[in-house]
Amino acid sequence: MRLPPVGLGTMGIENPGPITTALDVGYRHLDTARIYGNEAVVGDALPASDVPREDVTVATKLWIDALGEAEVTPTARESADLLGVETIDLLYVHRPRGEYDPAMTLPALDRLVESGLVDAVGLSNFEPADLDRAHDVLDVPIAAHQTELHPLFYRPELVERAREGGYPLVAYSPLSGGRVDEVDAVVDVAERHGTTPEAVAIAWATAKEPVVTVPKASSRAHLRANLAAADLTLDPADIAAIDAVERERELFPE
């Protein structure tokens, strides 16, 4: 699946205005989830924009209480209805927990693709062993893996898995939960380039092929700034300095 370097993370967005603005300024990838409780908000934003539906990748995720074989299909249908789409472009397993059973859940997702309700299947917050098992069970290709990734939490082995698997690694919370301006290495790089720590964090992530990002923003100015950050080119020394940050500050542990 080809995804733009910067998409919009919608967790916490409660009205369609910021999403419509995002589409108007150039976003073409919207990321939501059942657990966010705002699929209908995303659905309201899509027709409010002049951007053709077929130009936008709409992604959502099944929560851990809807991963049983009997729950996958009706939950996905409800998500499609809330989103106002005939086909969900990208449907993730949000976490391999709760009712998740790869032998039951993943074939149910294959059937959703066969039916046309879902175009592509993604995985989210999977460990390497979970990725291996999913790869063995799924008939359709893994279209994307979404995981937390930012200057304070970075797992290069997951980037390498995505590279080997030929799918994008979708980085959520790329701005470290709003704390990138507290990371000295990021601030130093931003000062050298005359830009913001937020721009540097996004540029650092997207420099790691095949990483793409889904930062959340609401104002037009922040939406534009995040989108433009992917055009910032960092020097190898800049990337190495951020790579060397002492990390393991996971914002969304299991």
**Residue 162, pLDDT score:** 98
pLDDT digits (tens, 9 = 90+) for 222-234: 999 999 999 999 9
Instruction: Give burial (CB, 10 Å; 0-12/13-18/19+) of 104.
Output: middle
Domain boundaries, the chain: 8-243
Tell if the pTM clears 0.85, that is, is over it. Answer: yes
pLDDT digits (tens, 9 = 90+) for 173-205: 999 999 999 999 999 999 999 999 999 999 999
Q: Which amino acid is at 168?
A: P
Assess whether pLDDT exceeds 90 at residue 214. Answer: yes
DSSP code of residue 176:
G
Exactly one of 27, 36, 92, 154 is catalytic; name it. 36
E-strand stretches of the chain: 8-9, 29-31, 57-62, 90-93, 121-124, 142-148, 169-172, 211-213
**Residue 49, pLDDT score:** 96
Instruction: List residues bridging with 28 in a β-sheet.
Output: none
Backbone angles phi, psi at 120, to 5 degrees: -150, 150
Confidence band of 254 (pLDDT split at 50, 70, 90): low
CATH topology of domain 8-243: TIM Barrel (3.20.20)
36 is catalytic: yes
pLDDT digits (tens, 9 = 90+) for 62-89: 999 999 999 999 999 999 999 999 999 9
Confidence band of 249 (pLDDT split at 50, 70, 90): low
Instruction: Give burial (CB, 10 Å; 0-12/13-18/19+) of 159.
Output: buried
